Amino acid sequence: MPLPSRIPRLSRSLARDQIRSRIQSWIVEGALRPEEPINDKEIAAAFGVSRMPVREALRTLEDQGFVETSLNRWTRVAPLRPEQAEHLYSIVARLEELAMETAFPILSGEDLHRLAEAMDDFGHAAEESSSPKALRADTAFHSVWVQRAGNPDLACILSQCRSKLMRIELEYFQSAADLWSSLREHERIIKALEAVDLVAVLSELKSHWQSSVDRCMARAKQREVVNLKDKSRHESH
């Protein structure tokens, strides 16, 4: 199991949470690929800790859907399941609508400035065709009204769902056209906010998330067709 180099040693008191966070980042960002075996002994040695905090971290990641285990047989990175995107998008869309409704009356000029900054970062990422940078900017954009809503439990649930979505999006959103489409949708959300029109804002937000679902599923189907063709060619030889 290949691990990133330069892994820092951890304090024992925070080992479990730090290890969980690090492994989750590796899974989301693709350093650990779908269905790749995970060796708790190897991870423990890399972090300089015992196997116990690693096992505890992996159990938490299993509960969150990032890891799968077969009792006494194997532990692996959970497969990517594009259909999960539809479920996650529907949850995130509804919760973000709630956050927007709560935040809308108290959004400030500073909040709009933060949205504009996130848009600029997204635009630069789209010019570079960098999905990781674009997704970080996208998270910053959506976080503005989620944070302004002032509901830490809502923010926590959304963060967990978006971590799972980011893993799927990093795998399937590689097209510059997808990034530019998302950017234009963000622009329409900002225009509705500037017009102080909550109905329009919620409509644009709902449309944005539906378009995200459609893009994800379209790319997943394209990938499936390519994989089937590759498999057919391999079998024919």
* 165 assigned to some structural domain: yes
Question: In the structure, what pLDDT confidence band is assigned to residue 202 with cuts at 50, 70 and 90?
Answer: very high
- Mean pLDDT value across residues 25-42: 92
Over 90: is that where the pLDDT of 37 sits? yes
Amino acid, res. 187:
E
Residue 5 lies in a domain: no
Same domain, 93 and 64: no
d(CA 18, CA 161): 19
Question: Of the residues 35, 58, 77, which one is the last residue of a structural domain?
Answer: 77
pLDDT number for residue 73: 85
Query: Which of 77, 97, 120 is the last residue before a domain boundary?
Result: 77
pLDDT higher than 80, residue 179: yes
Residue with tokens 């995130």: 92
Band (133; pLDDT cuts 50, 70, 90) = very high
Looking at the structure, tell me whether residues 73 and 103 fall in a common domain. no
Does 211 fall in a domain? yes
Contact (Cβ atoms closer than 8 angstroms) between residue 141 and residue 118:
yes
**What is the 3-class SS of 223-234, one letter each residue?**
HHHHHHHHHHHH
- The model's pLDDT over 38-86, given as tens digits with 9 standing for 90+, comes to 999 999 998 888 899 999 999 999 999 999 998 778 999 999 887 888 8
Domain match, 94 and 199 both: yes
Assigned domain for 234 exists: no
**Six token digits for residue 73:** 């047989």
> Do residues 57 and 113 share a domain?
no
Residues 55 and 111 in one domain: no
Number of domains in the chain: 2
Enter the DSSP assignment of 195.
T
pLDDT at residue 14 above 80? no
Establish if 104 belongs to a structural domain.
yes
Residues 112 and 208 in one domain: yes
Same domain, 208 and 129: yes
pLDDT above 90 covers a percentage of the chain that reads: 63
Q: What's this model's pTM, rounded to 2 decimal places? A: 0.81
Least confident of 44-48, 98-102, 168-172: 168-172
Q: What is the spatial distance between Cα 51 and Cα 41, in angstroms, rounded to a whole number?
A: 6
CATH number, domain of 88, equals: 1.20.120.530
For tokens 């966070």, name the residue: 21
112 plus 207 within the same structural domain: yes
Task: Provide mean pLDDT across the span 101-118.
Answer: 97
- The answer to whether residue 54 sits within a structural domain is yes
Domain membership of residue 108 (yes or no) is yes
| Same structural domain, 115 and 182 | yes
Sequence-distant (≥ 6) Cβ neighbours of residue 120 within 8 angstroms: none
Domain that holds residue 216: 82-227
Q: Which of 76-85, 183-192, 213-222 has the highest mean pLDDT?
A: 183-192
Rounded to an integer, the average pLDDT of 181-193 is 96
Same domain? For 35 and 135 the reply is: no
Tokens (6 digits) for 140: 């910053």
Domain final residue, candidates 60, 77, 94: 77
- Residues 87, 69 share a domain: no
CA–CA distance, 166 with 205 (Å, rounded to integer): 18
For residue 30, name the pLDDT band (cuts at 50, 70, 90).
confident
Kindly state whether residue 237 falls inside one of the protein's structural domains. Answer: no
CATH number at residue 27: 1.10.10.10
> Which ranges of 30-151 does DSSP label H, i.e. alpha helix?
40-47, 51-63, 82-103, 109-127, 131-148
Give yes or no for residue 28 having a pLDDT over 70.
yes
Instruction: Tell whether 41 and 127 lie within a shared domain.
Output: no
